[in-house]
């Protein structure tokens, strides 16, 4: 059962595990939509998406009306989505904003990602990233364009480094998760995802505690 972080009459916020696809597709036996119907008793409507390998806060709605209303909030109307990632190198400056265009289905789209470095040993860094826009693979593309690809990224990442870190630290999954979410509803909602197991294992092997 996917743990619930919040539930009301309109939405359900899940703590999605890494490796679970959000919707049906080739090779997908069970997806989030199936799991919610099985475990929570309703067929959900997607509000937004997370990549299969991205864990953390995911909103689904109980009706098309609710899905449209919350989706509008996520479009820059006060909602805050924060992600945590492990990236190559050390961003300089330690805090900043990426505004380079990203590619979405072959077309260049404007995008904004605000980031903050939480911990680093020079070779690897733990960063916080807050979306200003919600483009597909936006965070992954922005950090890769800046020379700090996310570890475990099999599309935009440093494949040689990924292989080396899989051997050294056992890092075989995408090191990105949706850590927290704030929704400015009539009664504001703020939730925090649990630390994914592969992140906990990384912090243990890396010798650093998880940043607050």
For β-strands 176-183 and 55-61, DSSP reports them as parallel
CA 4/CA 15 separation, integer angstroms: 6
Q: ω before 93 within 30° of 0 (cis)? A: yes
Residue 147: φ, ψ to 5°: 90, 15
CB 116 within 8 A of CB 94: yes
Dihedral sign (CA 18, 23, 29, 30): positive
Catalytic entry in 51, 119, 153, 158: 51
Residue pointed to by tokens 């609710």: 66
Q: Is 100 a catalytic residue?
A: no
Query: Would you tell me how many other CB atoms lie within 10 Å of the CB of residue 23?
Result: 12
Eight-class DSSP state of 122: S
CA 58/CA 30 separation, integer angstroms: 16
Q: Give the dihedral of Cα atoms 126, 80, 96, 104; nearest 10 deg.
A: 90
Instruction: Report, as residue numbers or ranges, the catalytic residues.
Output: 51
């Amino acid at each position: 059962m996917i743990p619930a972080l919040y539930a009301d009459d309109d939405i359900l916020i899940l703590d999605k595990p890494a490796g679970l696809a959000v919707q049906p597709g080739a090779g997908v036996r069970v997806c989030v939509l199936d799991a919610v119907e099985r475990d929570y008793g309703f067929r959900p409507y997607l509000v937004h998406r997370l990549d299969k390998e991205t864990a953390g806060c995911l909103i689904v709605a109980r009706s098309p009306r609710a899905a449209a209303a919350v989706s509008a909030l996520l479009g820059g109307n006060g909602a805050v989505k924060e992600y945590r990632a492990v990236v190559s190198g050390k961003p300089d400056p330690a805090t900043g904003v990426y505004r380079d265009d990203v590619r979405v289905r072959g077309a260049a789209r404007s995008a904004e990602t605000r980031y903050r470095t939480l911990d680093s040993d020079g070779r690897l860094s733990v960063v916080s990233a807050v979306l200003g826009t919600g483009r597909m693979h936006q965070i992954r593309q922005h950090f890769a364009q800046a020379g700090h690809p996310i570890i475990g990224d099999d599309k935009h990442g440093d494949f040689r480094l990924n292989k080396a870190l899989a051997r050294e630290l056992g890092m075989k999954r995408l090191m990105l998760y949706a850590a927290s979410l704030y929704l400015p509803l009539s009664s504001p909602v703020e939730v925090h995802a649990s630390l994914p197991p592969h992140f906990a294992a990384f912090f243990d092997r890396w010798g650093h505690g998880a940043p607050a």
